[in-house]
Structure formats: structure tokens, C-alpha cells
Amino acid sequence: MGGVARGAFHNAALLVEWSGALPALLGLVKEVEARLGRRSTPRWGDRVVDIDLLWAERKHRSPALIVPHPKLAERPFAWEPAREVAPWLPAGRGLPRAVPVGSIVTTLALARPTRADRSVHQRGVAMKFFIDSANLDHIRQANSWGIVDGVTTNPSLIAKEGGDFVETVAEICTIVNGPVSAEVVAESTADMVAQGRLLARIHENVVVKVPLTKEGIAATKELSREGVKTNVTLCFSPVQALLAAKVGATYISPFVGRVDDVSRDGMQLIEEIVALYANYPELETQVLAASLRHPKHVLDAALAGSHVATIPFAVMTKLFSHPLTDIGNEKFTRAWDGVPDRDIVSQVTRWLERNGR
């Protein structure tokens, strides 16, 4: 469709019952699409998933939704699967005059990506790991594991290491090829913008970290307008996250552990922000789960659909650990000690030479 050649798609239809209002169903559908990896794309752009609705015998038209799709009955790839689950739909063009009230037909198209497309898609939707640290040795070690996608710092972490702020940020940018958050330390919007502009000049990967205050939100809007990437920090409510997204923040940093500290559910905050953003696909702000205290926090953030988890070094090392892994590895090592020739490199090299490889 749209005059552009596409690859193969899986097309399917689903019949459901829904007792609520149509806008509420639309919100649920948008959340499902987001969890399946859909992101904002240009018109006729490639999409991982696309869900359309047919709402019983009723029609709906608003700026956010037209039901049914104006061209739905002219598209066999959507219409024929719909008729398989809803046989009362007409075989030809046109909409049914009467169908069971409350019945919903959703037409679902899932892309079947090529190997290259699949790898790009996975890189785009898998939760990224940032290390929350200003310790250069820790950052180098974590980066050597191959799992670090970026770094977050803050004034407390920088002060703890005792090094020069700008030199530390610059050095981190040479270690990790990914976003590096560097925080402004100012109270007025003008000062935050001035600091942010300078921080962004240190390296192309610098993301300017801004507090979620009135002045910080105003600064974020200006920096975003100028093309500076921003990370709005100290977020403790979904409404705050919405404010950051409205002014174009690149990341929003909800603090899970600190919410837990005041006897609230910090992970629920992540879930609510992810669901809120899913209602508005045009919002491109990524959820960056911060203040993670243990591996369970990392797991829960991933299950909630957070785009990023920023993880202290001590917690990141624990992600590798499991007692059964340690026991199994020790058992394999002891068994291998009984093999006469344990030099795998020499064995494989000789075998390759003998076989002309």
C-alpha cells in the first residue's frame, strides 16, 4: 500500500468483546502496539505492528481515530481474515448493516522482517543498559562486558570520585559509545540553558541532564528546540513525565528506589509512565528507569517496558550471578581437568591446518 514495495506480512483478525468506550479501547490497542515494539514512523513507513478496529455497526470519527478505516473493505489482506472470525461481515465491499452489539473485529498486521531488519528492530526496542557511575575503572570494566549502551552521571557521583567534572565527562565519552548524561547545576532557566549548551559541546554523545522543575522544563524545551538531547531527572509522578515529554525530552528518569523509600511502589510508576506514553505514539521520550537497587528492579523495569535501565556497577555485576550457574560451571571445569590435552586453541589450530581451513 502507498505505492512503496514492502516485504511479507502476517495478517490476522481477532474478535473480542468490549463493554467500555471506544477511546478506552484505542488506548489499550496503542499500549499493545507499543509493547510489541511499534514506534512513530512517517506515513507509509515500515511498522512492526498495525492494528485497526471495526466497531460493531457503529462508526467513529475524531482527530485521533476513524472507525472503520475508510479503505478497510477494499483491502482483502485485512477484510478476509476479519470475515473468518466474523462471518456476518459482507463478502464484497461495504460495511455490515447489523452485527452483534459490542462485537469488535481487530485486524492485525505483523511484519515478517528480514534478518537485517530483525537485528535493527531488536536493537531499537530491547531495553538498554546504562551504567550509573562516574568511576572510570568501573565504567571501563562494565563496558568490556559488551552490555553497556550508555552512562548516567550526577553531581553526587562526580563529587564522590573527586575528579574534574568536565574531564571526567569527556573521558567517559571516549570509553562508551553511547549517550552520556551530564547534569546542569543551576536554578534559573537561563543558566540551565547556558550550561546545557556548553555541556553538549564536550562530545556529540553528551545528554544534558535537567531537573524536573518549572525552570528545568522550560530549559528542556529550549534545549530540545536547539537539537540538544536532554534527560529530565528527579521524576516521581506520571504527570511530571508527561510534562517532560511535551517539551521534547529525550529521556525521563523516574526514581524507582526513592519512591520505594517512602513506602510507595516505585515500579508502578514505571508502568504508569510507559502506559501513559503508549496512549500518544507521537511522544518520543524514552523511559529511563533510575534508582535501581537490585536485579529484581532491573527485571521489573524490563517487564514494564522501560526503554532504558540505568544500573549502579554493584547491581550490574549481580545480574550475572546465579548459584546454579556457579555450580554448573565449577562442575564442567572439574570434569575438563581430567582431559589429557586441555589446550583447545592448539588442538583447533592443528585441526584447521590438517584440513586446509
- 43 DSSP assignment: T
70: phi then psi, degrees, rounded to nearest 5: -55, -30
Q: What is the enclosing helix (H) or strand (E) of 128?
A: strand 128-132
pLDDT of 45: 66
The residue written with cell numbers 537485517 in the block is: 116
Per-residue pLDDT of the chain (357 residues; tens, 9 = 90+): 566 666 677 888 888 877 666 777 777 888 888 888 877 766 666 678 888 777 655 667 766 667 777 677 677 777 788 878 877 776 655 554 444 444 455 555 555 433 333 333 333 457 999 999 999 999 999 999 999 999 999 999 999 999 899 999 999 999 999 999 999 999 999 999 999 999 999 999 999 999 999 999 999 999 999 999 999 999 999 999 999 999 999 999 999 999 999 999 999 999 999 999 988 888 999 999 999 999 999 999 999 999 999 999 999 999 999 999 999 999 999 999 999 999 999 999 999 999 998
pLDDT of 121: 35
| Angle 298-299-303 from CA coordinates, rounded to 5° | 120
pLDDT digits (tens, 9 = 90+) for 121-169: 333 457 999 999 999 999 999 999 999 999 999 999 999 999 899 999 9
Enumerate domains of the chain plus CATH numbers.
9-118 (3.30.70.560), 127-318 (3.20.20.70)
Indicate which residue of 30, 128, 209, 229 is catalytic: 209
Task: Find the helix packing angle between 266-278 and 295-303, rounded to 10°.
Answer: 20
Contacts 24+ apart (CB under 8 A), 93-102: 95/57, 95/59, 95/68, 96/57, 97/57, 98/57, 99/56, 99/57, 100/56, 101/56, 101/57, 102/17, 102/18, 102/19, 102/56
Catalytic: 229?
no
DSSP, collapsed to helix, strand or coil, labels residue 19 as: coil
pLDDT of 91: 66
Q: Give the integer Cα–Cα distance in Å for 309 and 40.
A: 21
Q: What is the enclosing helix (H) or strand (E) of 198?
A: helix 189-200
